Structure 1
């Protein structure tokens, strides 16, 4: 898909051109009743009563043509808008399915939601209304002025002289608009952050007697926003009032009547010829004012298109699909990784995960544990070296095959807003109810599910509000049903209460049996039986061995265990 607003509109460009052409006809036809009224007035004032009905029927015909073409134009743009939104959302969904999974870790769900929902929605007014409104706003004044110039060029210039004044005032009003909108967005962001902080932390701040302090932060954010917006809106309102007054019907009538009276007194114009200027001059105000609104919609749509384009410009994960794993042993050879292409967060990683063994990753926060684990399911691609499964480079394995072999369970559980059944069967939608219930029992979550209002048909977030431990057991059931031979596990019990920890550990013992397991360890006592422990420091493996071997070595791992035991006393 092409980037920018023009690229996004490409699928509906033909429809928009057709709608614009119909709007041109509609705008010209809309002038016919005004011209007919002026002609009838001119004839009546001149004492001519012939063919008045003919002129009246011309007015009716113009109205009918305007009505039909306007309805057709509006229908085309709204159908085009629906088609475009469907196309762009599908394109975003398709593209997001090809980007590295690690890309999502660096971004909030709000950013993705804004691009796929809010920014696509922002295109509605542009496609459905603004483009045709802009066409009408340009064609109507131009057609009216062309007609008026045929009557008298001097009075036409006088009418036209009001427009530069309006445009100058509007330009002053919009000066610095992009910077002010950026400040507006930032101020709203500070309010949102203060609200989230206040609401999510209310229990903590009240417990420690800091409710007033948190409340003050919220009030300060809202006061800052009110001061900023009041200052900006105040200056804009004053200029807008001047601009709107310059192009208002009352001012246009005064200009036309004042100028017309003078021209009649000078003998330059017949009194009856002033009437078309009165009618059409007043009719110019609406289209000209709508130009400002249309231009604002265009700016908003362009900003939305740029944000959508940024998402669509994320490079997809390269896929070759030319290798098939021969087994399930995992090997890291000379692996290095950098997020920014400059600073390496992993370097010189060499290790092997034999089938059916447990490999634990330990180390301080920021040592590279999660990054290393994320290379197996291709959350990222190594910038040097290779990660292989069954002798095949993960970059050359068909993604469907890769995720049939590699599963993962993390602390940060993400359940879909779907039924419990659908969440468990996410990796195997064809699974039977019996299969789903069996893995739920194994994950120690079946009894809790049966207590929900609709059991397995309860929708998460509506009829079901699960605790962290319960959500974790649902994700374990999901991994059990997927039945992948290789499992990446970010220790699921790190923040669980004792009761949940016991249930999760029972579920995990069922999950990991017979699988090749790579676990990120937070609680060292849970990995004492691991087949190998890799100690990471600044992206390098500094120690490796079993729990007993590393304790006997008296190195970094032994120091970590000693610190943990000391803290537990």
Structure 2
């Protein structure tokens, strides 16, 4: 953000020209809107006064009032149209910038923020600026111009009576200032409370299946309820602290209160001979119109504060450092992957990985195993630059991945994870994410290779079926769609978080067939959650506390009797366990699948 500018000022930069035109038009409209009231007052003074030319003067005043009213209507429409066009342009501009920036920040940035916070910035905060741009700036202009024009005319009629009319206005402003005094202090807490409610609501909805499955719906709902109760308690305390001053201010600034003060003061002035009775008419007409714009000014001020808070949060995302890209990208020669003395830390203090040296040769499968928290997922995530290393380097084809163009890197490295994410779009579009320019035949070929073509063809609209509407896929089916996406990308390096770990036996077989097609002839880095899936790997890397403690093939590591051998023994003991007591276990794929899952928990301590 440019130095010396507020976040809101910087964000409004692209539409500042349109807003100036809208404000100028609104100022003309507001001034013209005062003229009909002045015309009515002057018409009364003309008709009740003396003079032979009263008729001509009356028609002249009437024509001026009618013309001003027409001007007000036309120019107000122009001002509103310009401000709404500015708002539309700005929302489009901001959302594109936000999406572009979110697409360029490291994916690790999202791990410290819940989806509710991101949603608030991208949707709610951008919407919060709509009212300011499309309405509040015009309201502020009207609230400034109308009283100024009215008071100028009233001072011209009689300055003493004008002071009487202003008195309720000054008292009301003082009371409202007391009401607004705590706004700056309470508004940040209000935003934080709303953020907590948004976050807990989104997380509750996303995790509802899990929490209900394990009977924790009441506990999960309690977290949302506590966030809502905290907000309610805070908001009620805020409202109660200002209710009396706010009520008093609105009473004093009400048209009835101003009219009573005007008539009482006017009666005194007329009976004392300080003011002609006919001259009381302008004050009765325009005096009651002074307070409404002032109230609008306070409400617009609140909208301005809300917009400033929203702009600060939006600017915080827009100022998030992007993943660095080289000015002169290098060109890899080949696809060999090399981790050289890699060190990585999430917080800059404690290393999650240290001293990692690893080579992935073309046509080989490397499996990462180890207990939960050992660094398997972190090590794999460094290759597609979900994070950048803290020390050392990761290279592809002899070029540090930080020196590669991102398009080149992602053209060479694809990843398939257990947690499948499909967008609410057609099946074809989801597969085509791997290569947007792919034709329909190529999409179908990838789906056939991923063993999911028959599933897609059975959907109501086939490949044109939309996820979440007429395409509801099981976990295994969605996983095969993600494999088809990776197949279409045809990347020579695959990062694979064992995709079949949570599939049912039937789906698992199909997913494994799809994965076999995906990994054929490629460099594969696989995060292994089940030891039974790594026995044929060309290289097994055992991690513990962020370091490589063993590496080799399955038979070599078992014979070495080290950490991997103990994990394998635990895996075999668990695989032989059955709930109905000891004895031979008949071969059953479903039982073996369940045993493998249980073995992971026992042998590896879970997923890192």
* Residue equivalent to 2:33: 30
The one of 348, 351, 365 equivalent to 1:344 is 351
* Residue equivalent to 1:39: 42
Spell out the pairing of 1:269-418 with structure 2 (5 A cutoff): 269-320=275-326, 321-418=328-425
The one of 487, 495, 513 equivalent to 2:494 is 487
The one of 158, 168, 174 equivalent to 2:164 is 158
TM-score using structure 1 length: 0.94
The one of 91, 107, 120 equivalent to 1:114 is 120
Spell out the pairing of 1:26-105 with structure 2 (5 A cutoff): 26-48=29-51, 49-50=54-55, 51-105=57-111
The one of 507, 518, 530 equivalent to 1:523 is 530
* Residue equivalent to 2:560: 553
Once the two structures are TM-superposed, the CA of residue 197 in structure 1 deviates from its matched residue by: 4.1
Aligned length: 568
* Residue equivalent to 2:180: 174
Where 2:387 maps in the other structure, the secondary structure is coil
* Residue equivalent to 2:599: none
C-alpha deviations, 1:268-297, integer Å up to 9, x for none? 222222211111111112211111221111
Where 1:161 maps in the other structure, the secondary structure is helix
Once the two structures are TM-superposed, the CA of residue 196 in structure 1 deviates from its matched residue by: 5.9
**Against the structure 1 CA distance between its residues 217 and 536, is the aligned structure 2 distance closer, same or farther, given a 3 Å change threshold?**
closer
Cα separation, 2, equivalents of 1:500 and 1:177: 57
The answer on whether the counterparts of 1:253 and 1:278 sit within 8 Å (CA) in structure 2 is: yes
C-alpha deviations, 1:247-286, integer Å up to 9, x for none? 1100010111111111223322222222111111111122
Moved more, 400-409 or 440-449: 440-449
Spell out the pairing of 1:145-294 with structure 2 (5 A cutoff): 145-178=151-184, 180-184=186-190, 189-190=196-197, 193=200, 197=204, 200-201=207-208, 226-294=232-300
The one of 473, 477, 491 equivalent to 2:484 is 477
Where 1:346 maps in the other structure, the secondary structure is strand
**Against the structure 1 CA distance between its residues 190 and 80, is the aligned structure 2 distance closer, same or farther, given a 3 Å change threshold?**
closer
Cα separation, 2, equivalents of 1:551 and 1:532: 13
Once the two structures are TM-superposed, the CA of residue 228 in structure 1 deviates from its matched residue by: 4.7
The answer on whether the counterparts of 2:120 and 2:198 sit within 8 Å (CA) in structure 1 is: no
Once the two structures are TM-superposed, the CA of residue 537 in structure 1 deviates from its matched residue by: 1.8
Where 1:341 maps in the other structure, the secondary structure is coil
Cα separation, 1, equivalents of 2:323 and 2:436: 25
**Against the structure 1 CA distance between its residues 102 and 129, is the aligned structure 2 distance closer, same or farther, given a 3 Å change threshold?**
same
The answer on whether the counterparts of 1:473 and 1:507 sit within 8 Å (CA) in structure 2 is: yes
The answer on whether the counterparts of 2:151 and 2:162 sit within 8 Å (CA) in structure 1 is: yes
The answer on whether the counterparts of 1:195 and 1:218 sit within 8 Å (CA) in structure 2 is: no
Moved more, 443-452 or 90-99: 90-99
Once the two structures are TM-superposed, the CA of residue 532 in structure 1 deviates from its matched residue by: 1.2
C-alpha deviations, 1:351-403, integer Å up to 9, x for none? 11111111111122222221211111111111211111010111111111111
Cα separation, 2, equivalents of 1:225 and 1:116: 22
Cα separation, 2, equivalents of 1:198 and 1:345: 31
Once the two structures are TM-superposed, the CA of residue 441 in structure 1 deviates from its matched residue by: 1.8
Q: Are 1:541 and 2:544 counterparts? A: no
Cα separation, 1, equivalents of 2:397 and 2:476: 34
Once the two structures are TM-superposed, the CA of residue 126 in structure 1 deviates from its matched residue by: 1.0
Cα separation, 1, equivalents of 2:226 and 2:404: 54
Cα separation, 2, equivalents of 1:312 and 1:190: 23
Once the two structures are TM-superposed, the CA of residue 241 in structure 1 deviates from its matched residue by: 2.3
**Against the structure 1 CA distance between its residues 5 and 275, is the aligned structure 2 distance closer, same or farther, given a 3 Å change threshold?**
same
Cα separation, 1, equivalents of 2:25 and 2:437: 50
C-alpha deviations, 1:299-320, integer Å up to 9, x for none? 1111111111111111112211
* Residue equivalent to 1:565: 572
Cα separation, 1, equivalents of 2:115 and 2:28: 45
The answer on whether the counterparts of 1:205 and 1:214 sit within 8 Å (CA) in structure 2 is: no
**Against the structure 1 CA distance between its residues 299 and 404, is the aligned structure 2 distance closer, same or farther, given a 3 Å change threshold?**
same
The answer on whether the counterparts of 1:191 and 1:222 sit within 8 Å (CA) in structure 2 is: no
The one of 24, 38, 51 equivalent to 1:21 is 24
Q: Which runs of 5+ in 2 are unaligned?
A: 578-608
The answer on whether the counterparts of 1:420 and 1:458 sit within 8 Å (CA) in structure 2 is: yes
Moved more, 304-313 or 174-183: 174-183
Moved more, 538-547 or 71-80: 538-547
Cα separation, 2, equivalents of 1:56 and 1:256: 25
* Residue equivalent to 2:149: 143
Once the two structures are TM-superposed, the CA of residue 214 in structure 1 deviates from its matched residue by: 6.8
Once the two structures are TM-superposed, the CA of residue 415 in structure 1 deviates from its matched residue by: 0.7
Moved more, 330-339 or 479-488: 330-339
Where 2:484 maps in the other structure, the secondary structure is helix
Cα separation, 1, equivalents of 2:11 and 2:193: 29
* Residue equivalent to 1:454: 461
Once the two structures are TM-superposed, the CA of residue 432 in structure 1 deviates from its matched residue by: 2.4
- Structure 1 vs Structure 2 CA RMSD: 2.4
Cα separation, 1, equivalents of 2:227 and 2:319: 34
Cα separation, 2, equivalents of 1:452 and 1:145: 71
TM-score using structure 2 length: 0.88
The answer on whether the counterparts of 2:115 and 2:199 sit within 8 Å (CA) in structure 1 is: no
Q: Which runs of 5+ in 1 are unaligned?
A: none
The answer on whether the counterparts of 2:117 and 2:199 sit within 8 Å (CA) in structure 1 is: no
* Residue equivalent to 2:134: 128
Cα separation, 1, equivalents of 2:98 and 2:205: 34
Where 1:322 maps in the other structure, the secondary structure is coil
Cα separation, 2, equivalents of 1:17 and 1:204: 53
Spell out the pairing of 1:492-507 with structure 2 (5 A cutoff): 492-507=499-514
Once the two structures are TM-superposed, the CA of residue 244 in structure 1 deviates from its matched residue by: 1.2
Once the two structures are TM-superposed, the CA of residue 174 in structure 1 deviates from its matched residue by: 2.9
